[in-house]
Structure 1
Amino acid sequence: MKLRRRDEDALGTGTLAAGEEVLPGYRVVALLAHGRRVDTYDVWSEHRQCRCVVKILREDRRDDPRVRDAVLLEGRLLRDLTHPHLVRGYEVHDHPAPAMVLETLTGATLAALVDDGPLGAGDVALLGLQLSSVLGYLHREGWLHLDVKPANVVVEEGRTTLIDLSLVDTPGSGRPGAGTRGYLAPEQARGEGLSSATDIWGLGVTLVEALTGEMPYGDEATWDSRRRIPVVHRRAPRPPRPLTSVPRELDELLRTCLSQDPAARPRLDDVRAILSPLAGEAAGTR
């Protein structure tokens, strides 16, 4: 998994230097990210004789049982669930700390690609087909992703891979506000009524951003229940404007995906039915 390395000054204590062993048989090549829960490393695997990625619970979070359980759950799911558009997990460890070993992806994140310029409608349709395929698989396995966004999508030569199951949960209730601002569905902000429609919302936001370079509700799409946001931002964002530069059926699909009422959003089968002809010869998932 190829991620952007953060500024050295922003890195916290307890991280490992190149050459140190993060897990038995896995030596650090570079620190890729110092996140709120985990440190992510580019590593060399002595057993596999190749580069891998290790996500390991941060030293200062190891006494929190909720966080420990979440990291172990993510690792087990990525190890046990198999889909061509889901990052592959190799191993899960609970010593010296909860950790997972993942495949290395050599593509760029969708976020980085969109920074270089919006994608065309055909490419976005193919992207949507592949994401709807893996989301449907997760849903049939009983899980919701709950953090679909361009930074969690890696693209290489037309192949899309969904990464990061750190917020994965089952349908029903969840922690209010858990998710990424701007990609958060209204019911996700409230922490109740989570369903497959919640991931449809994230898919819709992601595809609109890929098409336009902009988030349809802006990065302050906090909804009324995001208590940690100042009161001045606690307002429901306006509905997104029509996308006049894309086929009408794609515009209508995406705006329906962004309906504030989860029941009004399309099913993944409906999403695929509309996107398939728009993707042309590339309609099949790769």
Structure 2
Amino acid sequence: MGDTQPRTRRVHREAGSSAAAAAPRRRVSILGVLGEVLITAGVVALLYVSWQMWIGDWIIGAEKHKEASALSQSWMTPSPAPATPEASDSPTPAPSDSPTAPADPVIPVQDQQEHGTQFGVMFVPRFGPEWQFTIASGTSRTDILDQGEIGHYNDTAMPGGVGNTVYAAHRWTSGAPFDPIDKLVIGDAIVIQTPDGWYTYRFRTLEYVQDTQVEVLLPVPQQVGVAANGRYLTLTSCAPKLNMLERIIAYAVFEDFTPAASGPPASLAAPTQGASA
């Protein structure tokens, strides 16, 4: 009987010691779970960024290349041959001895298009033989740029028109059409195809500006109050890729127009073939 009470106290003390020892293990376990959650969240974030920067861009870019190629091919499908006129009994007029001056080449220019309308395909041989993207009217982020399109500023000239035809696209995510814009070399061809044919421009220079510097959209880029006196092309995108406060600008000048009936121009065959003055 005398030993029961001390033994009971020892049991209680041992039980209390065990409970006290178990408490830190419970706290360590909670910290461990929290650490695992944070690690998992970090891995998920890394995978998302990887998807956005590489995998997603590659997949979207490949899809847009196919879409642009299909549109380009549809414009190269020959139209039905016109009917042969019936023979006429009228005499054939005699040729004139007076020389005939060659007619100036006519450069067709499309009208401004409705927002979101795909009206062209852009090719830049410097960016690779598979690089081609559709051009849509407008520069809305959600329904044009984020869809992997090259957007055309509505208030600027259409391809081949006198003035400045200006385009925007992403360098990061959504297929990143303008990712390699900083790789352009003087004289590189920038070609726009429409149902009428191909408009070839030649790259001149790069410039970095603030996002508020809208003078790059003027009829003569950066020349306030100057009337359009030539045919220019301007490409705009973010610089650096994740910076929304600055823009990289590529300027080009018009070289020539190749009618659709003549087939693809020589300017598509190589990145640089020399630029005209």
Q: Same fold (TM over 0.5)?
A: no
TM-score (normalizing by structure 1): 0.24
* Structure of greater Rg: 2
TM-score (normalizing by structure 2): 0.25
The higher relative CO (CA closer than 8 Å, separation ≥ 6) is in 2
